[in-house]
């Protein structure tokens, strides 16, 4: 058991001695494969669902509709089964998060990543070998379980293994790899769409590469010191800490982890604790950020870019080509965020992106409204390029704002005792709303037509106003000082801190707060 006797902890905000050791580099590669896997799954389905061979085998009615001229341009792909193929992954993922929250605590981060890798591998086998719709959906569900386990464990693993001073950068590195996974998927689809009749099998099977990498990685790395100590393996935890920090001088950090884990053990019901009034600001912000991130409409573009560009009258090849361009813009713009997030701050990035996203979506809606009618899909060369440019403008601003910050901000604002439960809720809400968009988008496109972009732009307006008034700046604030320096100072959220009677006195918890 974590010893209650350790109560010496380093003063908050003090940096512990730490080198960037090989094991930290290996953990980066882990993040890469966890993120790649998620990104590949997001990116692969759009291209696959616009391949005729795939549609002919699993969704013959969609293929028939697609080839019939009389079907409205906006409604060619409106089919609940087809949408279920894309969205079942997210539904499975959000359910898996709750199990993942348990296994990350009880079995450790490493084993949870291993479970994710195994789910991924079995899911890829089902998908690549699919003979019928059932096999296809079962495969997607298994991949979804992998996403649920991986997205809970990998970010936790990373932030625990990273030296404090590069923790923020590593966090966005995860998102960077999500975008690389999406781009990789788009490129693969571009190539395999020419291989008939089994190109789609290759697309789905190549997900095996990041899946195997994640599994091997999880076999070889060590668990985090925090996880070992939390499970009572104090000596092992200390030895690992020395190894990953590249120094014997780990006593202050070791003591802090022991103390943190002791406090975490005092919390008997992590999820109930999360609902206490003093945790309200972080919880509300984490939940809303996930909802807003998805209601920017990013995944309508990411999942369905090839389908969307097809709908707009681009020929099959050109549409995948456009999807590759948006994928590349996504990766490059995420680098902008890595560079600027600790310089200009979170709020600045979100507010600037709000303006850019709003204008580009309105522009897309206007062009489509004028040029694309139900039965005429000839956008014309010039207008088509304009739509691609506007889509890229939108994607770039998302990629340096809501993409990475939707994950970063919740992970840096929860206090330690609620951080793990908070992460589960974050992942769960994210996947829930990813599911909602994936399931609804093609039907919404069919009913709202070009106005779908007006719909998303209205959301962008709402979220930007929220950022303006309710999202405090967290740049350069040590995590341990968030309560004092952020929440207690904020014009609105400070009222939730007034009855803060949850103090840690001399290393002992004095929890007078009522649930």
Alpha-carbon distances of 477 from 282, 287, 389, 417, 485, rounded to whole Å: 15, 21, 37, 18, 8
Q: Which stretch binds ligand BGC (CB under 6 A): 76-84, 256-264, 298-306, 490-498?
A: 298-306
The correct pick among 227, 282, 310, 330 for binding ligand BGC (CB under 6 A) is: 330
d(CA 213, CA 329): 25
289 contributes a contact to ligand BGC by CB under 6 A: no
Candidate list 296, 434, 464, 483; residue touching ligand BGC; CB under 6 A: 434
How far, in Å, CA of 220 to CA of 26, rounded? Answer: 9
406 binds ligand BGC (CB under 6 A): yes
Q: What is the DSSP letter of 162?
A: S
Minimum CB separation from ligand BGC for residue 158, in Å?
15
Contact region with ligand BGC (CB under 6 A), list: 178-186, 238-246, 454-462, 480-488: 178-186
Asked if residue 431 lies in contact with residue 303, where contact means CB atoms within 8 angstroms, the answer is no
The string of DSSP letters for 431-451 reads: HHHHHHHHHHHHHHHHHHGGG
Choices 81-89, 161-169, 297-305, 442-450; region in contact with ligand BGC by CB under 6 A: 297-305
Scan for tokens 């966090």, then name that residue.
171
Q: Kindly state whether residue 333 participates in binding ligand BGC, applying the rule CB under 6 A.
A: no
- Least separation in angstroms between CB 68 and ligand BGC: 31
Q: Which is nearer to ligand BGC, 188 or 384 (CB)?
A: 188
Pull the structure tokens for residue 314: 């681009």
42 binds ligand BGC (CB under 6 A): yes
The yes or no reply on residue 298 touching ligand BGC (CB under 6 A) is yes
234 touching ligand BGC, by CB under 6 A: no
Site for ligand BGC in 374-403 (CB under 6 A): 403
Q: Which residue bears the tokens 């590349």? A: 328
Asked if residue 151 binds ligand BGC (CB under 6 A), the reply is: no
Task: State the nearest-atom distance from the C-beta of 240 to ligand BGC, in Å.
Answer: 30
Residue 302 beta carbon to ligand BGC: minimum distance, rounded to whole angstroms: 5
Which residues does 183 contact at the CB level (< 8 Å), separation at least 6?
Answer: 39, 43, 324, 327, 328, 330, 331
| CB-based contact 418:274 (threshold 8 Å) | yes
Q: Find out whether 74 and 351 touch, Cβ atoms under 8 Å.
A: no
Structure token pair of residue 20 = 């960037």
Q: Interface with ligand BGC by CB under 6 A: which range of 5-13, 176-184, 343-351, 375-383?
A: 176-184
The verdict on 325 binding ligand BGC (CB under 6 A) reads no
The helix/strand count (H/E) of the chain reads as: 22, 2
Rounded least distance, CB 181 to ligand BGC, Å: 9
Note whether 349 binds ligand BGC by CB under 6 A. Answer: no
| Least Å from the CB of residue 114 to ligand BGC | 23
C-alpha to C-alpha distances, 382 to 314, 323, 326, 361, 371, nearest whole angstrom? 12, 18, 18, 18, 11
Task: Please say which residue, 86 or 203, places its beta carbon nearer to ligand BGC.
Answer: 86
Residue with smallest beta-carbon separation from ligand BGC: 403
| Binding status of residue 299 toward ligand BGC by CB under 6 A | yes
Say how many Å lie between the first and final Cα of the chain, rounded: 27
Q: Is 302 in the site for ligand BGC (CB under 6 A)?
A: yes
CB of 411 to ligand BGC, least distance (A): 12
Between CA 358 and CA 346 the distance in angstroms is 18
Q: Does 178 bind ligand BGC (CB under 6 A)?
A: yes
CB of 41 to ligand BGC, least distance (A): 9
User: Which one, 104 or 330, has the nearer CB to ligand BGC?
Assistant: 330
Q: Does 296 bind ligand BGC (CB under 6 A)?
A: no
CA 119 – CA 125 distance, rounded (Å): 10
Interface with ligand BGC: number of residues (CB under 6 A) = 14
Among 9, 103, 112, 175, binds ligand BGC (CB under 6 A): 175
Backbone angles phi, psi at 503, to 5 degrees: -110, 150
For ligand BGC, give the closer residue by CB, 24 or 341.
341
| Nearest CA among 182, 187, 250, 224 for reference residue 30 | 224
Among 61-69, 99-107, 172-180, 498-506, the segment contacting ligand BGC (CB under 6 A): 172-180
Taking the CA atoms of the chain, what radius of gyration do you get in angstroms? 23
Q: Which residues contact 389 (CB under 8 A, 6 or more apart)?
A: none
Residues that bind ligand BGC (CB under 6 A): 42, 175, 178-179, 182, 293, 298-299, 302, 330, 403, 406, 430, 434
């Amino acid at each position: 058991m974590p010893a209650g006797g350790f109560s010496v902890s380093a003063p908050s905000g003090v940096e512990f001695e730490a080198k960037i050791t090989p094991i930290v580099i290996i953990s980066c590669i882990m993040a890469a494969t966890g993120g790649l896997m998620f990104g590949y799954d997001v990116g692969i389905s759009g291209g696959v669902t616009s391949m005729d061979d795939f549609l002919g085998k699993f969704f013959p009615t969609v293929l028939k509709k697609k080839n019939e001229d009389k079907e409205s341009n906006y409604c060619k792909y409106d089919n609940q089964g087809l949408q279920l193929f894309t969205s079942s992954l997210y539904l499975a993922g959000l359910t898996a998060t709750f199990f993942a929250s348990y296994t990350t605590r009880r079995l450790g981060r490493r084993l949870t990543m291993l479970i994710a890798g195994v789910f991924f591998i079995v899911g890829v086998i089902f998908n690549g070998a699919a003979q019928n719709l059932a096999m296809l959906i079962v495969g997607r569900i298994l991949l979804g379980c992998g996403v649920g386990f991986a997205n809970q464990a990998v970010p936790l693993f990373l932030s625990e293994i990273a030296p404090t001073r590069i923790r923020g950068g590593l966090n966005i590195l995860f998102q960077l790899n999500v975008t690389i996974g999406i781009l990789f998927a788009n490129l693969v689809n571009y190539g395999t769409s020419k291989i008939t009749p089994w190109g789609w099998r290759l697309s789905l099977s190549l997900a095996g590469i990041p899946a195997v990498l994640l599994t091997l990685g999880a076999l070889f790395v060590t668990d985090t010191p925090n996880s070992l100590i939390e499970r009572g393996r104090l000596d092992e935890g200390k030895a690992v800490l020395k190894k990953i920090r590249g120094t014997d001088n780990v006593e202050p950090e070791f003591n802090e982890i022991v103390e943190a884990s002791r406090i975490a053990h005092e919390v008997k019901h992590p999820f109930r604790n999360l609902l206490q009034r003093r945790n309200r600001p972080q919880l509300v912000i984490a939940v809303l950020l996930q909802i807003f991130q998805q209601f920017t409409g990013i995944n309508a573009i990411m999942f369905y870019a090839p389908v969307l560009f097809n709908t707009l009258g681009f020929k099959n090849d050109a549409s995948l080509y456009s999807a590759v361009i948006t994928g590349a813009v996504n990766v490059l713009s995420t680098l902008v965020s890595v560079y600027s997030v600790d310089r200009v701050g979170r709020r600045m990035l979100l507010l600037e992106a709000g303006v850019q996203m709003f204008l580009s979506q309105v522009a897309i809606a206007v062009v489509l409204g004028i040029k694309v009618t139900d039965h005429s899909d000839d956008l014309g060369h010039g207008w088509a390029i304009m739509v691609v440019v506007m889509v890229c403008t939108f994607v770039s601003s998302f990629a340096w704002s809501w993409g990475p910050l939707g994950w970063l901000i919740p992970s840096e604002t929860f206090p330690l005792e609620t951080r793990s439960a908070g992460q589960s809720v974050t992942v769960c809400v994210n996947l829930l709303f990813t599911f909602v968009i994936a399931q609804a988008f093609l039907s919404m496109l069919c009913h709202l037509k070009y106005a779908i972009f007006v719909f998303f732009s209205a959301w962008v307006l709402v979220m930007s106003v929220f950022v303006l008034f309710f999202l405090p700046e967290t740049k350069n604030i040590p995590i341990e000082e968030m309560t004092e320096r952020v929440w207690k100072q904020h014009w609105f959220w400070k009222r939730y801190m007034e009855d803060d009677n949850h103090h840690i006195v001399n290393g002992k918890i004095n929890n007078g707060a009522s649930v």
